[in-house]
Amino acid sequence: MKLGFLVDLNLCMGCKGCEVACKVENEVPLSSWRLRVKYIDIGTFPDASRSFTPLRCNHCESAPCERICPVSALHYLENGIVNIDNSRCIGCAGCMMACPYGAIYMDPETNTADKCTYCAHRVESGMMPACVVACPVQANIFGDVEDDESHISKYIMEHQGGVQVRKPEKHTSPKHFYVGGGAQTLDPLAHERIEGYSLFNKITHLDAIGDKNHGVLDRFLAPFEGHEEADNSSMMDWVSSADSKKEGGH
Amino acid sequence: MVENTIHATQAVVTLDVALPGIIWGWMITLNMWAKSVGTGVILVGAFLLYRHKREEMPNLRWTMPLISFIFLNIFLLFTLTDLHQPYRMINIFLHPNWTSAITVGAWMASLFTALITLLAVIGFFDAHPDVRRNCALAKKVRANSGLYEKIFPFVVFLAIPVTLYTAIIMAESSARELWQAPAEVMQMMWAALLAGSAALSLVSDKWSRETRRDLALVLAIATFFSFLMYMGEYFFSFKSAEAEATLAYVHAGGAYNVEFWFGMALGFIIPFFLAVSNMKSDNKTLLRFAAILALVGLYMAKDVWLKIPQMLPLS
């Protein structure tokens, strides 16, 4: 059994239902995302269109994150899911440097790496991942890619020639496929990221990796201090591009 | 004109989440820089011991492992400090994943540091016979001082993989294409020789002129080839889209461009000429100056190369 995902970008309407469902199901903290939907505008007015690309962990068959993790916190499940054991993670961020898809984040509450697990806990109970259930147009298709009779396998066969993965040149053998995608939607270098401009806000880059209030000394003192309630307001202090001088754009 | 209004890839991100900025920052730069000094002094020290008599470098036997010990501990400290869960570092030894260069490196660096500590202790007590004359441990160490010569060849051999494993970590960082260049391995080696010769130059005051000339020779060769390798990558990098886009952060000017060229000038160009001139006429002050410049410049060059690939959006 090898579980995989397919997103039909022709169907996705950018409602972000999957994004919200993922957040709720996995209690993903503020400033972090296991799954996100990116909006990309293509063309010039009036011949312009907007595309929506859900982005999550690709659960690669040859996962660089699993290879670089020094303590096997990232590991394969028998069904092909690349799972993560937070209790073992040392927070070296090696996986964040290795993942070509930027799918791993440092959880600001636990200060350990985290990512999409295809809702392994739900799958184990025979349920579909939360994002699949939430999608109103069934753009997210999930199943066993080694089973010829599964919905995802049939969908791939029906769309032969139009099925793509992100960054195939990295030889990671992703188990996350897209139908209806193009270079502009799947290749981050093929679209411009104008700093300081976003549809609803000016947030471009996170101010810190992990909890911004968890400095070097705190990391060493944390086990000796009581667990305080998470101060979510501190996580809202992102850097707006107007203030950020350290990042460039493409 | 039509080519300006209908761009083939007129694609713009209009809504997305905030992306992470620099993940591995100055602590990792300092970590790599300190490791270069820690292993480099052993490699260059071994070269000097091979070329010259011990009497020409009276304090080398204990200053070499002592410098290495200090910088290896700086390296280990910042390795630990950069972890978000530092106490879980123990998991590398309890639950090692041997496909990870981080794991292999941590084991090798720990063994290397342990052996260097032993060398430093033996070297120090041998060089200072009056220190702790009646201490049982010091007596035992002095009685076994022959151990130094026995383990030193192994330490020199181990210094090579300890120097190079960071290049393997970078090679495993598949998301940062600039680090995938095979040149990274050689860059690490030249950095160690540069840092080692520079650090030893600072304690070579009482050494013979010939040993200082050899130090200057190693410094000159290391700065020359380091500079060539950086120039090779800067101007003729392998033409992958990501590597090109990464280098654009330096090519396009700005803070990283300034830091890069300061690194090249301070770390490689000026020390090269100072070291060459020192080979002709011995000038301790100039050699020390070259050594300090080389160490400062090396840090800057490493810092730029570490950070620019992290600025590229990955998705």
pLDDT at A183: 87
> Does residue B4 carry a pLDDT above 60?
no
> Does residue A248 carry a pLDDT above 60?
no
Sign of CA dihedral A49, A54, A55, A60: negative
Chain A touched by B11 (CB under 8 Å)? yes
pLDDT at B75: 97
Rounding to the nearest 10 degrees, give the CA dihedral for residues A119, A120, A123, A127: -30
Please name the helix (run of DSSP H) or strand (run of DSSP E) that holds residue B71, with its range, or none. helix B60-82
Top-confidence residue, B276 or A238: B276
Residue range A84-102, pLDDT digits in tens = 999 999 999 999 999 999 9
Q: What is the mean pLDDT of residues B86-92?
A: 95
Please state at what angle helix B101-127 crosses helix B60-82, rounded to 10 degrees: 150
Compare CB distances from A44 to B10, B20, B81 and report the shortest one's residue. B10
Residue from B30, B28, B27, B24 nearest B298 by CA: B30
Residue range A146-163, pLDDT digits in tens = 999 999 999 999 999 999
Q: What is the mean pLDDT of residues A74-90?
A: 97
Chain A touched by B89 (CB under 8 Å)? yes
**Domains in chain B, start-ordered, CATH in brackets?**
23-311 (1.20.1630.10)
- Chain-centroid distance of CA B184 in Å reads 12
The CATH number of the structural domain formed by A3-191 is 3.30.70.20
Q: What is the mean pLDDT of residues B118-142?
A: 91
**Rounded to an integer, what distance in angstroms lies between the CA atom of residue A126 and that of residue A145?**
16
Residue range B9-27, pLDDT digits in tens = 678 888 888 888 899 999 9
The predicted model scores a pTM of: 0.91
**Contact state of B9 with A183 under an 8 Å Cβ cutoff:** yes
Residue range B201-241, pLDDT digits in tens = 999 999 999 999 999 999 999 999 999 999 999 988 767 88
Chain B touched by A62 (CB under 8 Å)? no
- Domain ranges in chain A are 3-191
Please name the helix (run of DSSP H) or strand (run of DSSP E) that holds residue B12, with its range, or none. strand B11-15
Q: Show the beta-strand stretches assigned E in A45-196.
A: 47-55, 74-76, 82-84, 105-106, 113-114, 140-144, 163-164, 176-179
Strand, helix or coil for residue A148: coil
pLDDT at A220: 86
**ipTM score here?**
0.92
Q: Which residues of B touch A203 (CB under 8 A)?
A: 17-18
CA-angle at B171, arms to B166 and B176, nearest 5° = 110
CB contacts under 8 A, A 191-230 vs B, are: 191-194, 197-200, 203-207, 209-210, 214, 216, 219-220, 223
Q: What is the mean pLDDT of residues A212-240?
A: 66
DSSP string, B79-142: HHHHSSSGGGGGHHHHS--TT-HHHHHHHHHHHHHHHHHHHHHHHHHHH-TTTTTT-HHHHHHH
**Contact state of A248 with B18 under an 8 Å Cβ cutoff:** no
Measured between CA atoms, the residue of chain B closest to residue A211 is: B84
**Rounded to an integer, what distance in angstroms lies between the CA atom of residue B194 and that of residue A95?**
30
Q: What is the mean pLDDT of residues B239-249?
A: 88
CB contacts under 8 A, B 233-252 vs A, are: 241-242, 245, 248-249, 252
Residues 6 or more apart whose Cβ sits within 8 Å of residue A189: A250, B241, B242, B245, B312
In single-letter form, the type of residue at position A34 comes to R
Q: Partners of A37 in the beta sheet?
A: A54
**Contact state of B20 with A248 under an 8 Å Cβ cutoff:** no
**Rounded to an integer, what distance in angstroms lies between the CA atom of residue A68 and that of residue A70?**
6
> Average per-residue pLDDT in chain A?
88
Determine the residue among B1, B3, B4, B17 to mutate to test chain A binding: the one whose Cβ has the most chain A Cβ atoms within 10 Å. B17
> Does residue A166 carry a pLDDT above 90?
yes
